[in-house]
Structure formats: C-alpha cells, structure tokens
Amino acid sequence: MTHVALSHVRALTFDVFGTVVDWRTTVTRELAATLGEGKGLEADWEALAARWRFEGYVGGIGAIRGGERPFTTADALHREKLDEILAELGNPLDEAEAAELNRVWHRLDPWPDSVGGLGRLRKRFVVSTLSNGNFALLVNMAKHSGLPWDGFLSADLLGHFKSDPETYLSAARALSLEPEQVMMVAAHKADLDAAAGCGLHTAFVPRPNEMPAGRPTDLEFEDRFDFNATDFHDLATQLGC
C-alpha cells in the first residue's frame, strides 16, 4: 500500500465471525456442554457447529442475497437451523434452553490478539464492525468480551448482507467517509475482494484455526491486498499504531 493512500484511511471496518472471534471453538464447546454433558447425548459437536454455521447462517444469507427468501437477521437464521438440529436429536431442550443456546453466537471467544489489537488500532482509526451479524448480537458480544469497538455496522441496520456492494458503500456513507478512506479487515478473501471492488482498502488477517478439520481454508498472503498481517497486533504495527 502506498503511504499516500494510507494517510487517507480514517476507519477500519472488520468482519467479525472468524476474523475477530473464534466461532468454531466456542460453539463446539457449548454444544458439547448443553447437549452432551447436559442431556447425555452423543454427537460430533464440531461437525454440528459447522453445519449450524455453514448451512444455517451462510446458506441463509446466500438465499436472502439471491432473492429466494425475505430479509431476516442472523439471530433468526441461527434459530431456524438450531431447531432443525434439535429436532434431529429428539428435541432435548425446552424453549428457554434453546433460546439460551442460540445466544452462543452473542458470546463467542475473541482470538487472543483481538481485544488488545483493536485497542491499539482504535487510537489512530475509527474501528467498527462490518458484519452480517445483527446489531444486538454484536453489541452483546462486545459487552461479553470487552471488544473495544468505536461503532457497530451490521447487516440489519444497513439493509444488506455482505458481499453485496451496497453493504460496503452504505458503511462508508454511515461513517461519512469516501470508500477510499475506509479499510476492510477480514480473514476471508471474498469479503476483501468485494470491498476492494467498491473502492475500499483491504487488510487480510488469515485465521488458521477458524475452520473445522477437513474444511479447506486459504491462508496465503496476496499482493492484491493493501496489507497482509499475521494478527491484529501485526496489523497495528504495520499501520504505525
């Protein structure tokens, strides 16, 4: 990245699931605690966590973006898939227990560098979520984990899911910035490529422990991104924070 361009960047917008927080470990652990230890069931909890995420959330967003179903929130998509999984397991939870388990996505553990790295980055930049999660989920997650966000931009408030271009453009507009004054930070190349297509800068922070075993993940640094960093502390150092 040229230093001329860098000097114009005022805000960093972050993908959250996978980039800032470790959904796989937290969700696997809570499934095992609630359904395994709590109800005496046996299953491959990590495989169920992956189904919950990829079939429920990622699949649901794809259907919404494709116009096959109306707009809804991450919370609702999570609950729909959870109910399907619980039905397969013989409906072992009552309503209060199911609602509580669905909120596991509000209390995902941050990666070890997330809180400290964001704390460094926010001294120089506005740091905001730009997530397909919903506002309440992101706010509760920050309160739970101490993630020091300056603000929350979310699919429900912006009216679009990533990687629709409107998501990135309306985020820049909400920040009262031009797209080139914003840098998207993500562990996922498709997110960054869509942001770059809208004129945002890009920082790639691969997360080698995000994915369940057997699911391939592309961790290679790329020249086309403005920055490639091993974690948020490395990004803060490269950005002079």
Task: Between 35 and 137, name the residue whose CB sits nearer to a copy of itself.
Answer: 137
**Nearest distance in Å: CB 117, a copy of itself:** 18
- In degrees and rounded to multiples of 5, residue 152 shows phi and psi of -125, 115
Written as six digits, the tokens of 149 are 């966000």
Dig out the tokens for 208 from the structure: 């080698």
Q: Which is nearer to a copy of itself, 142 or 235 (CB)?
A: 142
**Considering the complex, what minimum distance in angstroms separates the CB of residue 147 from a copy of itself?**
11
Nearest CB to a copy of itself, comparing residues 152 and 225: 152
Q: Report the greatest alpha carbon distance in the chain.
A: 60
For residues 228 and 216, give the distance between their C-alpha atoms in angstroms, rounded to a whole number.
19
Say how far apart CA 231 and CA 219 lie, in whole Å: 12
Q: Are 154 and 61 in contact (CB under 8 A)?
A: no
| Residue closer to a copy of itself (CB basis): 130 or 187 | 130
Listed in sequence order, the residues at least 6 apart from 15 whose beta carbon sits closer than 8 Å to its beta carbon are 130, 131, 162, 184, 185, 186, 187, 188, 191
Q: Output 24 or 120, the one with its CB closest to a copy of itself.
A: 120
Q: How far is the CB of 170 from a copy of itself (least distance, A)?
A: 9
- Chain residues that interact with a copy of itself, rule: CB under 8 A: 73, 75, 122, 126, 128, 134-140, 142-143, 150-153, 156-158, 174-177
